Chains A and B, each alone.
Chain A
Amino acid sequence: MSALSVVASALILGGVALSAVGGIGLLRFPNVFARMHAATKPAVLGLMAIASGAALEVGGTGNISRLVLVIFLQLVTAPIAAHMVGRAAHSRGADVGGGIDELAAEGAAGPHDTPTAE
């Protein structure tokens, strides 16, 4: 196996391990926010690692460009999705895991309307 293949294999195995860890965390953690920490982020990082490994392994500009694109898109969109689900869950009073909650003290976020043309 060439060196590139070894690196690619390492990346892919590391990535799927991260995805698996995310799955386990989904089941283990007691409340929504912790599950979000456990599931979305390792899953995204895992996908990025796997895509990097696959890009190293597969040739062809078309394939590599699509894999690079998916990495980029995930990097940009995943935090936004996690943030929005988190905000929505908190505004509906989801359990924060028993610690301090300064956001609730400030007055929880209510439903937000879409801003029209600014």
Chain B
Amino acid sequence: MNVVGSIALTVLLVAAGLALIRLLRGPTLADRMVALDSLLLTIASGIAVNAAATGTGEFLDVMIVVALLGFIGSVTVARFIERRGP
């Protein structure tokens, strides 16, 4: 499981890096919000992988909060875009 965990975390790191590139490039706010949501989901996935690799569920609460924050952030930014433009 440690090997699998290491591979998984490396791949997630790459995915997070790609999302970061899109976050920086844009061009619109919606693009950045999608990238940020993807990044947060990657973080949550990383926490889950860590739980599997170490066998303890210490940070699972953080995972739930991160996933929820991703959702709430997306919805809030979406409403902002509607009202005031990208």
- The residues of A with any CB-CB pair to B shorter than 8 Å are 1, 5, 8-9, 12-13, 15-17, 19-20, 22-24, 26-27, 32, 35-36, 39-40, 43-44, 46-47, 50-51, 53-54, 57-60, 62-63, 66-67, 69-70, 73-74, 77-78, 80-82, 84-85, 87-89, 91-92, 94, 111-112
Contact = CB atoms under 8 A, between A and B. Distances in A.
A99 B61 CA distance: 43
Contact of A26 (B5, B34, B60): B34
Interface string B61-86: 10110011011001101111111011
Contacts of B48: 47, 50-51, 53-54, 67, 70
B15 A84 contact: no
Given A47-B67, A77-B68, A19 B34 contact: no
Given A32-B28, A39-B38, A70-B64, A27 B22 contact: yes
A44 to B, nearest CB: 7
A51 B66 CA distance: 14
Contacts of A112: 82
A85 B77 contact: yes
Contacts of B85: 92
A78 B34 CA distance: 11
A92 B75 CA distance: 16
**Residue from A26, A32, A66 whose CB has the most chain B CB atoms within 10 Å:** A26
B7 to A, nearest CB: 7
Contact of B52 (A1, A54, A74): A54
A54 B78 CA distance: 32
A19 to B, nearest CB: 5
**Residue from A17, A58, A78, A81 whose CB has the most chain B CB atoms within 10 Å:** A81
A91 B57 CA distance: 42
Contact of A85 (B12, B33, B60, B83): B33
Contacts of A89: 28, 30, 81, 86
